[in-house]
């Protein structure tokens, strides 16, 4: 076990993909995890995998597009563990029709998940981390936040560019 032993780590989008793999990796280092996603059945499995890898793991069903869900996640984590050392904003998804065929509803949902979810969680943990005198925020994005890589992805790119702007501002703050 290394430098992450007993660190409290919150991971959004932890039910699959990068988030689930990150949970296992942090668990192998002895971290205490709060896993968040919308699918409870997959969160239960992710917690079992994390515990089997050597970490402590709890979960909170969370839709990062809903600010009240994110606040509940952060509140549950601090109530359970007393602190938050690392926040991994990983929740996100892709949607790739042409801009002309992207509905306003789809655009709002992309921004709500890919950008506002990151904003809500970051804003909620910053005061906690400032009070502790330490903490790290890791925002999982995409090359799409730096450059357009396909013709039918304007809405997705916009959400990731917004996230990149938030990343740059957070780094300076």
Q: Please report the pLDDT score of residue 131 as a whole number.
A: 97
Q: Band of the pLDDT at 68, cuts 50, 70, 90?
A: very high
Report if residue 34 sits inside a domain.
yes
Report if residue 63 sits inside a domain.
yes
Give the CATH number, domain containing residue 137. 3.40.50.720
Report if residue 1 sits inside a domain.
no
Q: Please report the pLDDT score of residue 97 as a whole number.
A: 80
Residue 120 annotated as catalytic: no
User: pLDDT by residue (tens digit) across 34-54?
Assistant: 999 999 999 999 999 999 999
Tally of domains in the chain: 1
The active-site residue, picked from 59, 81, 156, 161, is 156
Q: What is the DSSP string of the chain?
A: --TTTT-EEEEESTTSHHHHHHHHHHHHTT-EEEEEES-HHHHHHHHHHHHHTT-EEEEEE--TTSHHHHHHHHHHHHHHHS--SEEEE-------S-GGG--HHHHHHHIIIIIIHHHHHHHHHHHHHHHHT--EEEE---GGGTS--SSS-HHHHHHHHHHHHHHHHHHH-
User: pLDDT by residue (tens digit) across 69-104?
Assistant: 999 999 999 999 999 999 999 998 888 888 889 899
């Amino acid at each position: 076990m290394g430098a992450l032993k007993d660190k409290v780590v919150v991971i959004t989008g932890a039910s699959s993909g990068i988030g689930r793999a990150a949970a296992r990796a942090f668990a192998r280092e002895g971290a205490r995890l709060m896993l968040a996603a919308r699918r409870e059945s997959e969160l239960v499995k992710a917690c079992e995998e994390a515990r089997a890898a050597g970490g402590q793991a709890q979960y909170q069903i969370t839709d990062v597009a809903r600010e009240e869900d994110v606040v509940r996640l952060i509140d549950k984590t601090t109530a359970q563990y007393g602190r938050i050392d690392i926040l991994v904003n990983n929740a996100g998804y892709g949607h790739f029709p042409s801009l002309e065929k992207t509905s306003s509803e789809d655009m709002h949902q992309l921004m709500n998940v890919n950008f506002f979810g990151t904003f809500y969680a970051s804003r909620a943990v910053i005061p906690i981390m400032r009070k502790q005198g330490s903490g790290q925020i890791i925002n999982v994005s995409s090359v799409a936040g730096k450059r357009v890589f396909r013709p039918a992805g304007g809405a997705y790119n916009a959400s990731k560019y917004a996230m990149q702007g938030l990343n740059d501002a957070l780094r300076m703050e």
